[in-house]
A and B are shown apart, each in its own frame.
Chain A
Amino acid sequence: MEVADVVERISGKMEAKGIAVDRSRIESKIRRLVEEFGVQLAEAERTVMNELAREHSLPSPGTRAQEREIQGLAVGEWVTVQGKVVALTSPRTPAIAQAGILADPSGAIRFTVWAKAKAQPLSVGKWYRIESAVVDEFRSAEQLKIHSGTTISEVENETSLIPKMIPVRDLRPGVGSVRVKVVQEWESSHERMLQAGLLGDETGTIKFTIWREEGKEKLIPGAVYAIYYALVDEFNGRLQLNLSTAVYLPEEGEIRVAEGEAARGVIVHLAPGSGLIKRCPVEGCNRVLSRQNYCPVHEIQKDFRYDLRIKGVLDDGIRTRNILVQRDIVETLSGMKLEEAVALGESSPLGMDEVFYRIRDAVLGRYFQVRGSEFDGRILVKECQKIAFDPGDLAALLNRAGGEAQ
């Protein structure tokens, strides 16, 4: 380490905080301590840094800044972390010297080293202490920004990292490790793309892509994998996994993949068109007929088929989702078979409205958990369960409510 490096680093740190410094003054202070008083360079750096911090009434940087766990870093913080570089990615602009993923036992975060930082190149598999980096956000993912005021030092660390597996439903933009099954393989839409498709676990599914790169292999459809340190990106409001940085290993066992979207909430509305309906009998049509048995395409149809369905709104208090529930589930929820509904509709003075009211009274204002695929802004419900009261929830909420007040 040279005096000039130290001067540059101190100046960088101060300038990053918006304070102009006089490099020659810092150099003379350092030289005085080192050459006249025989102080070690690292100690001289600390002394001068503290002195400057006091001069400008900044919080004292201390000898060694408090190291933080990667898990729990928040956007806007200045932090010091120690972690292992588990992957490098190709920088998206020449202004960035290096980009990749830094991991510690608590989690992993993306990092970018700005070219201006003139930092030493980082290598995959090595541990570093990164002092005074800034956490910021790029495309909703947190990342560690390494700038000219950041100090990087390689450290010896033998800790073996065991990445925490995250349920697909709980993935957030950033970095994620998952245990998943390859549900579908899609045709590549791009010549640089090696493979794309759908991965899933018990909690949900997510799109994945692997880009053509040296040593990258395709996933085998139907197989189960442990995927470590994949990039989780948000694209058009949906998450996807980019396996360019990831290590993936085949795993034993089987996963029962949850199909489609899951949602919980209360059915707060039954739209017109719910209940007993008539469908057009023309092969391949199946459209819903009006009360006058009119099909928008095939006109009057007297030999219609009856069907049951719910077009409704599921509301969790924050967000509303449109749901479409098919006959078999409507039968279970309402306790009324199609034949009974038809008999009721044909005999009641209210006609088909009576069936609508029966179904409404059975489901409206009740809590349900539904699962199904989303199509055109509507969940086509394949599974629907009434939510049951769980005493564990009550105990947890009592703690949460009483935790601070009592």
Chain B
Amino acid sequence: MNGRRAAGPRPGQTFDREPARRVFAGELREVKLQFREGEDEKSPSFVLLPTGARCNRIFIVGTLTEKERRGDQNVFYHARIADPTGTFFLMAGSYQPEAMQQIARIEPPAFVAVIGKPNLFESQTGSMLVSVRAESVTTVDRETRDLWVLDTARATIERLEEIGKTDDSKRAEEHYHPDPAVYRRMVYDALAQLKI
């Protein structure tokens, strides 16, 4: 790890790392649109959230409830992470060695913090599913989980308040016709599960 891999941009090159968006499972599940910015093979790919933000990367904290090791030659892990609104589907393969080794060491159930990239794919039954390709998975405490619920609630409300004001949110409105009341309800219910 230390110094073995070339690290991102060369000196002198400016590079803005994509922020990790905060999103509840209940919203990510609804994602049906993925796009690439620019023609380049290396240009980042985004999914568009129904509340109107593009995300190339997300940050989630929840309970790792199940993990499953698959494959012989190409080992990869599948895992399920539950938050107060639903479930995230996590993937880590040989291209994410760090995350794979981290998942291998965690015994469910456990609170985990995940940084990863959302991907849209079509299931065998033809429906669109979102999975998260993990970059890193660490075990955390309950307080970090609670902080994430607050953080994600705030981010979701702020996106709801911006609906129709940014290009991305206009695009999301056209594509998803989101009902703000439904998402407010989801946020409220998620918050209500925390103990004061």
Binding between chains A and B: yes
**Interface residue ranges of A368-406 to B (CB < 8 Å):** 387-389, 391, 393-395, 397-398, 400-402, 404-406
- Please pick, from A275, A389, A405, the residue contacting B185 in the complex, using a CB distance under 8 A: A405
What per-residue 1/0 map shows which CB atoms of A57-75 lie under 8 Å from chain B?
A: 0000000000000000000
What per-residue 1/0 map shows which CB atoms of B176-196 lie under 8 Å from chain A?
A: 000001001101100110101
- Please report the C-alpha to C-alpha distance between residue A169 and residue B120 in the assembled complex, in whole angstroms: 40
Q: Helix, strand, loop or mixed for chain B's interface?
A: mixed
Q: Are B157 and A400 in contact (CB under 8 A)?
A: yes
Closest residue of chain A to B185 (Cβ to Cβ) is: A405
Q: Are A365 and B155 in contact (CB under 8 A)?
A: no
Please indicate the chain A residues that have their CB under 8 angstroms from the CB of B59 in the complex.
266, 268, 315, 317, 365
Please indicate the chain A residues that have their CB under 8 angstroms from the CB of B184 in the complex.
401-402, 404-405
Please indicate the chain A residues that have their CB under 8 angstroms from the CB of B113 in the complex.
266, 364-366
Among B28-36, B40-48, B134-142, the stretch that binds chain A is: B134-142
| In the assembled complex, B92 has its CB within 8 A of some CB on chain A | no
Please indicate the chain B residues that have their CB under 8 angstroms from the CB of A203 in the complex.
none
| In the assembled complex, A197 has its CB within 8 A of some CB on chain B | no
| In the assembled complex, A332 has its CB within 8 A of some CB on chain B | no
Of A290, A394, A397, the most chain B CB neighbours within 10 A belong to A397
Q: Are A389 and B61 in contact (CB under 8 A)?
A: no
> Given that A364-B113, A401-B187 are contacting pairs, would A315 and B20 also be in contact in the complex, using a CB cutoff of 8 Å?
yes
| In the assembled complex, A1 has its CB within 8 A of some CB on chain B | no
What per-residue 1/0 map shows which CB atoms of A83-109 lie under 8 Å from chain B?
A: 000000000000000000000000000
Among A32-40, A335-343, A352-360, the stretch that binds chain B is: A352-360
| In the assembled complex, A273 has its CB within 8 A of some CB on chain B | yes
> Given that A313-B17, A320-B16, A406-B188 are contacting pairs, would A272 and B115 also be in contact in the complex, using a CB cutoff of 8 Å?
no
> Given that A389-B143, A397-B150 are contacting pairs, would A291 and B115 also be in contact in the complex, using a CB cutoff of 8 Å?
no
Closest residue of chain B to A361 (Cβ to Cβ) is: B138
Closest residue of chain B to A316 (Cβ to Cβ) is: B19
Closest residue of chain B to A264 (Cβ to Cβ) is: B151
Q: Are A394 and B20 in contact (CB under 8 A)?
A: no
| In the assembled complex, A297 has its CB within 8 A of some CB on chain B | no
Question: How far in angstroms is the closest Cβ of chain B from A287?
Answer: 14
- The interface on chain B, measured as residues whose beta carbon lies within 8 A of the other chain's beta carbons, has a size of 45
| In the assembled complex, B153 has its CB within 8 A of some CB on chain A | yes
- Please report the C-alpha to C-alpha distance between residue A291 and residue B184 in the assembled complex, in whole angstroms: 52
Q: Are A398 and B2 in contact (CB under 8 A)?
A: no
Closest residue of chain B to A317 (Cβ to Cβ) is: B22
Of A274, A353, A402, the most chain B CB neighbours within 10 A belong to A402
Please indicate the chain A residues that have their CB under 8 angstroms from the CB of B148 in the complex.
367
| In the assembled complex, A139 has its CB within 8 A of some CB on chain B | no
Please indicate the chain A residues that have their CB under 8 angstroms from the CB of B1 in the complex.
272, 353, 356-357
Q: Are B16 and A272 in contact (CB under 8 A)?
A: no
Please indicate the chain B residues that have their CB under 8 angstroms from the CB of A394 in the complex.
150, 191, 194, 196
> Given that A315-B59, A317-B21 are contacting pairs, would A365 and B114 also be in contact in the complex, using a CB cutoff of 8 Å?
yes
Question: How far in angstroms is the closest Cβ of chain A from B10?
Answer: 14
Question: How far in angstroms is the closest Cβ of chain A from B188?
Answer: 4
- Please report the C-alpha to C-alpha distance between residue A393 and residue B192 in the assembled complex, in whole angstroms: 12
- The interface on chain A, measured as residues whose beta carbon lies within 8 A of the other chain's beta carbons, has a size of 42
> Given that A268-B20, A272-B3 are contacting pairs, would A367 and B114 also be in contact in the complex, using a CB cutoff of 8 Å?
no
> Given that A389-B146, A405-B185 are contacting pairs, would A317 and B19 also be in contact in the complex, using a CB cutoff of 8 Å?
yes
Question: How far in angstroms is the closest Cβ of chain A from B102?
Answer: 8
**Interface residue ranges of A244-286 to B (CB < 8 Å):** 266, 268-269, 271-275
Question: How far in angstroms is the closest Cβ of chain A from B161?
Answer: 9
| In the assembled complex, B165 has its CB within 8 A of some CB on chain A | no
Please indicate the chain A residues that have their CB under 8 angstroms from the CB of B57 in the complex.
268
Q: Are A320 and B191 in contact (CB under 8 A)?
A: no
- Please report the C-alpha to C-alpha distance between residue A366 and residue B113 in the assembled complex, in whole angstroms: 8
Q: Are A391 and B155 in contact (CB under 8 A)?
A: no
- Please report the C-alpha to C-alpha distance between residue A391 and residue B146 in the assembled complex, in whole angstroms: 10
- Please pick, from A352, A356, A365, the residue contacting B115 in the complex, using a CB distance under 8 A: A365
Please indicate the chain B residues that have their CB under 8 angstroms from the CB of A387 in the complex.
147
Please indicate the chain A residues that have their CB under 8 angstroms from the CB of B150 in the complex.
389, 393-394, 397
| In the assembled complex, A192 has its CB within 8 A of some CB on chain B | no
- Please report the C-alpha to C-alpha distance between residue A271 and residue B8 in the assembled complex, in whole angstroms: 9
**Interface residue ranges of A291-334 to B (CB < 8 Å):** 291, 313, 315-320
Q: What are 24 A-B pairs at a CB distance below 8 A?
A: A266-B20, A268-B115, A268-B136, A269-B17, A272-B1, A272-B2, A272-B5, A290-B3, A317-B19, A317-B151, A320-B16, A356-B1, A356-B2, A360-B136, A361-B138, A365-B112, A365-B115, A366-B144, A389-B143, A397-B157, A397-B187, A401-B157, A401-B187, A401-B188
* Further 14 A-B residue pairs, CB within 8 A, beyond A269-B136, A365-B115: A266-B113, A268-B115, A273-B2, A273-B3, A274-B2, A317-B20, A317-B22, A317-B151, A317-B155, A319-B19, A364-B113, A397-B154, A397-B191, A404-B184
B residues in contact (CB < 8 Å) with A: 1-5, 7-8, 16-22, 57, 59, 61, 112-115, 136, 138-140, 143-144, 146-148, 150-151, 153-155, 157, 181, 184-185, 187-188, 191-192, 194, 196
User: Which 8 residue pairs spanning A and B have beta carbons closest together?
Assistant: A365-B113, A405-B184, A401-B188, A401-B187, A320-B17, A365-B138, A317-B22, A391-B196
